[in-house]
Structure 1
Amino acid sequence: MTEFDTATAAVEAALAAGASYADARLMSRSAERMLARNGDIADMSRSADLGIGVRALVGSSWGFFSTSDLDGGARLAGERAAEIAAASAQVPMRSASMVTSEPVQASWSNAVEIDPASVSESDKADLLVGATQAMREHGADVALGELTFWDTSKWFVSSEGHRIDQRIREAGGGIEATTVGDGETQRRSYPNSMGGQLGTCGWELIESMDLVGNAPRVAEEARELLTAPECPSGVTDLILDGSQVALQIHESVGHAIELDRILGWEAAYAGRSWLDLAQLGSLRYGSDLMTIAIDPTIEGALGSFGYDDEGTAAAKRLAVDRGTWVGVLAGRDSASAAGLDYAGSVRSDGWRRLPMVRMTNVGLEPGPHTLEEIIAATDDGVYMETNRSWSIDDRRLNFQFGCEVGYEIKNGKKGRMLKNPTYTGIGPRFWQSMDMLSSEIVNWGLANCGKGQPGQVGHTAHPAAPARFTDVRVGVKA
């Protein structure tokens, strides 16, 4: 049997067991990770799995069942999914319906210039060893380097007629230098914290980072932070680098516009949302410079795909249009419940998990400025780079974030380094204060977005660029 035959058997079994709708995702995924510490390879791991997950709708309720037994287990998985849905349907709930997803027979894969599997383990190791050795030589007490790769194939079949296969290959990596002083540690990461930079691409992304070439600077900055003055406390203009703007989008926009949170269907990990659907199309989320797109079609970005895990084709739409909230991340059932006519943002992190509303690529459209122009236009402020800590309430509203490094801005020039920089705010007020935005967009990948119970880890990206925010409280101590 082909993969499509196996998935079709599961769907047919669910329908025969009483489901009004069913879909199946057969998935094969492999992952590779390599970690270096202080000039030596500290860890290498490979993993792979294969299985099928089946959803079934009976009355008002969903059922889900998964198995790694593809020989005789697919039909059983379909039957069990329908049985679970039927049992759940005995408790009266809202009526379940789904917005339209055009049934297609399609195949999609992302572009890869250099397959990571074609690069030898010794070449990968040499890169990380060289980068961590260079950081040690330039002052790092602990020097880390990491490479991660994923290769996922999936076959999707629905009772409506979808037959879609996709192959998504992802790559990422980065370096990190930690220095130890008198009762403190400082850290600098490149090109970003939390795993570095990641995308739906191949080894070419790793080559573009020049990890070895950037290693001396990263270590020297970590060492310099030990003797840098503390970020002063007060209210001032705040300039954030693109990677921190990306984290700001993730926490105060991305999670807030997930429709299942808005509807109260989901509250795990990140809580619910402060947004009210009655204000969709009218709420002022940010300044005129704030246009946020939901766009899984961006080539090379970590949240890109051809079709989501409900078979909806990838498409770009706006979440915020020149400061006004206009769109959400939705699934077919949540969109129908909310009276919307679009979905396209449902994924799972594997065949074992029920697909749910997840971020795709959620990010800013370019602004009219450059970072140099933003700094030059700032008489008094603080510039912060690279996330170090984050905290936000369970409505995605009040937040406090810390960065790895800050710089004093005086009379349009970047001055002395500042350590332990932090800032705080309230989501819509903060975004309404954005008065300058760079055109230098980077698709910052994030591979550790947690959601759901049992927990799932999502891959997403946030197109972002440096931006300035006025009258922000900085230097806040926990």
Structure 2
Amino acid sequence: MKRRDFVGLTGLATGALFLPSFPSLAGNPVDAARLLEPGLDVLQKKRFADAALNTAKGAGASYADVRIGRYLNQSIFTREKQVQNIANGESFGAGVRVIANGSWGFASTNDVSDKGLAKAAQLAVAMAKANAKTQKEPVKLAAQRGYGDVSWKTPIKTNAFEVPVAQKVELLLAANAKATENGANFVNSSLFQINEQKYFASTDGSYIDQDVHRIWPTFSVTAIDRASGKFKTRDALSAPMGLGYEYLSPQAADKIVGPQGTGLIGYRNSYDILEDAALAARQAKAKLTAQSVIPGKYDLVLEPNHLGLTIHESIGHALELDRVLGYESNYAGTSFATLEWKAKNIPYGSKQVNIVADKLQPGSLGAVGYDDEGVKCKEWTLIDQGKLVNYEKIRDQAHIVGQTESDGCCYADSWSSVQFQRMPNVSLRPGTAKLSADQLISQVDKGIYIAGRGSYSIDQQRYNFQFGGQVFYAIEKGKITGMLDDVAYQANTQEFWNSCAAVCDASEYRLFGTFNDGKGQPSQSSAVSHGSATTRFNGVNVINTARKLG
């Protein structure tokens, strides 16, 4: 977008004033046209990587890897009829990680040249040797074969950066208009686009070039009762995805009609932001007069956009091996699902609970060909028929649990960040028997249907928790009977997943995701998806969030 066009639309200067504090969306401000420049070619990246690898080995490293990264982002923010901000960012540099004298060392640089990479490698080796003086045990890396020269790219149809900014602005403003036409008093919408151009090389013999794309359209609408001053909101039911701009070209085949009586639409591989914005406004208005829930025990029917967050917090984080081992206890906490707990064969959930981890699922945020230490990505089972069978681990963790290979879930959010164990996509497998959401609801005598993710809280051991949502519907004798409000449910992880009674089939399956899953010190942010079908949980404790204690 030319400057005169932008000023004409907004009257605001382009910058990062409204940019969320997501590390993955940081970078130096650049012109939008720069986001389409090709960057270094693969031969240049290989030459620079070899300069680092050779220098590291010559300085005494037993292992070394190099990541040359170019991270691009564009964020667009609107409110009602106005564009609030457009921000374009680029971050470019390289990180060198080594093992010397049995210890890790890491250094990064924005001088991507033979000289710059060699200097970073020397510093990384020096740091490793200094660390070795206090390290009690040497690093043990799982064996990893080299793949030679390979590449992987997110299978997108349309690069979001190639779509004119004016076209994207027009879509967001149209969504805002749909919301206000349908009763919203306020609405803001945003579109986030990310491209990670990552090159990895290691002394194992891998030279891996990857081009990763992600996109996230979202909004929030507010409806007000001016007489009482009461207001209600409803956020978008979109999911951030590992797709291109085609995600915003809705296809009828990608829509899943929600249960009768809700008006909801689920979205799979494309998203209709106009349709969702209009429905969100109507539902926000309806929440103003919705019946406040009566606390008690209910059967809960949870749709995927909601259940994904519960999976993320109570399973995804709980099974990160570094957290299980206590490595994250100073910042992110630990996990109740310790190695000792697993050895006792205590059920994590009912037999309907089958949880899979993967870095391959098409359209997911975590989908890549290789992780950030050169391991080819795969799928593996974490929970099999309610039994915990595995964790999420990387190369220097595998030996701790008696395994010989990494799971391929190592990631760094920037070239300047050291890679470490991150959550892969963690998903609940759909049921094998044919079962729709309406059929699932027909089996419920007294329950609540919950859609969308809301506020939540979970303890440092990933055990005791509370989750809200966006919209809630009462279920009585197998039917949706009306909207509820002020709903949240409380449980502990074991109780909750052991109450899982039924999971809909694959026709109901879709993804939830987050762009900004935080972890580590210094903190890093990663993107991850969680898939599920609509699922029923029996006898869960529901509280009323509007009632005051005492």
Relative distance call for 1:371 and 1:40 in structure 2 (3 A) is same
1 CA distance for matches of 2:303 and 2:330?
Answer: 29
1 CA distance for matches of 2:392 and 2:305?
Answer: 22
SS of the residue aligned with 1:310? Answer: coil
**Which of 121, 139, 144 pairs up with 1:96?**
139
**Which of 289, 293, 318 pairs up with 1:227?**
289
Query: How far off is 1:224 after superposition?
Result: 1.2
Amino acid at match of 1:271: G
Partner of 2:179: 135
1 CA distance for matches of 2:60 and 2:222?
Answer: 58
**Which of 504, 508, 529 pairs up with 1:438?**
504
1 CA distance for matches of 2:352 and 2:525?
Answer: 31
State the Cα deviation string for residues 219-249 of structure 1 (Å, max 9, x = none).
0101111121212211121111111110011
SS of the residue aligned with 1:250? Answer: helix
Determine if the alignment matches structure 1 residue 350 to structure 2 residue 392.
no
Query: How far off is 1:428 after superposition?
Result: 1.4
Partner of 1:341: 404
- TM-score (ref. length: structure 1): 0.96
Amino acid at match of 1:8: D
SS of the residue aligned with 1:342? Answer: coil
2 CA distance for matches of 1:65 and 1:180?
Answer: 52
SS of the residue aligned with 2:333? Answer: coil
CA contact (8 A) 2:486 2:544 kept: no
Partner of 2:424: 360
Query: How far off is 1:476 after superposition?
Result: 4.7
1 CA distance for matches of 2:329 and 2:416?
Answer: 20
Partner of 2:120: 77
**Which of 293, 312, 316 pairs up with 1:250?**
312
Partner of 1:173: 217
Moved more, 464-473 or 304-313: 464-473
SS of the residue aligned with 1:197? Answer: coil
Alignment of 1:109-148 (within 5 A): 109-148=153-192
Partner of 1:309: 372
SS of the residue aligned with 1:475? Answer: strand
Alignment of 1:76-475 (within 5 A): 76-105=119-148, 106-181=150-225, 182=228, 184-191=230-237, 196-208=238-250, 209-267=271-329, 269-280=331-342, 282-343=345-406, 344-367=408-431, 368=433, 369-439=435-505, 440-475=508-543
Query: How far off is 1:214 after superposition?
Result: 2.6
2 CA distance for matches of 1:92 and 1:303?
Answer: 32
Query: How far off is 1:13 after superposition?
Result: 1.8
CA contact (8 A) 1:404 1:421 kept: no
Moved more, 391-400 or 270-279: 270-279
CA contact (8 A) 2:300 2:448 kept: yes
State the Cα deviation string for residues 132-173 of structure 1 (Å, max 9, x = none).
012112221221211111111111111111111111111121
SS of the residue aligned with 2:297? Answer: strand
Query: How far off is 1:117 after superposition?
Result: 2.2
Query: How far off is 1:84 after superposition?
Result: 1.0
Query: How far off is 1:342 after superposition?
Result: 2.9
CA contact (8 A) 2:445 2:476 kept: yes
Two-structure CA RMSD over aligned residues (Å): 1.5
Amino acid at match of 2:299: D
Relative distance call for 1:456 and 1:184 in structure 2 (3 A) is farther
2 CA distance for matches of 1:180 and 1:86?
Answer: 62
Query: How far off is 1:121 after superposition?
Result: 1.1
State the aligned residue count: 474
Query: How far off is 1:303 after superposition?
Result: 0.9
SS of the residue aligned with 1:221? Answer: helix
State the Cα deviation string for residues 8-51 of structure 1 (Å, max 9, x = none).
21122222222211111000110011111112211111001111
Amino acid at match of 1:49: S
CA contact (8 A) 1:404 1:420 kept: no
Gaps of 5+ in 1: none
Query: How far off is 1:375 after superposition?
Result: 0.7
Amino acid at match of 2:496: F
Alignment of 1:18-33 (within 5 A): 18-33=60-75
2 CA distance for matches of 1:76 and 1:53?
Answer: 11
Amino acid at match of 2:531: P
Gaps of 5+ in 2: 1-42, 251-270
- TM-score (ref. length: structure 2): 0.84
1 CA distance for matches of 2:330 and 2:214?
Answer: 27
Query: How far off is 1:442 after superposition?
Result: 0.6
Query: How far off is 1:347 after superposition?
Result: 0.4
CA contact (8 A) 2:306 2:452 kept: yes
Amino acid at match of 2:119: L
CA contact (8 A) 1:23 1:56 kept: yes
Partner of 2:7: none
2 CA distance for matches of 1:249 and 1:59?
Answer: 40
Query: How far off is 1:268 after superposition?
Result: 5.2
CA contact (8 A) 2:326 2:333 kept: no
2 CA distance for matches of 1:385 and 1:259?
Answer: 30
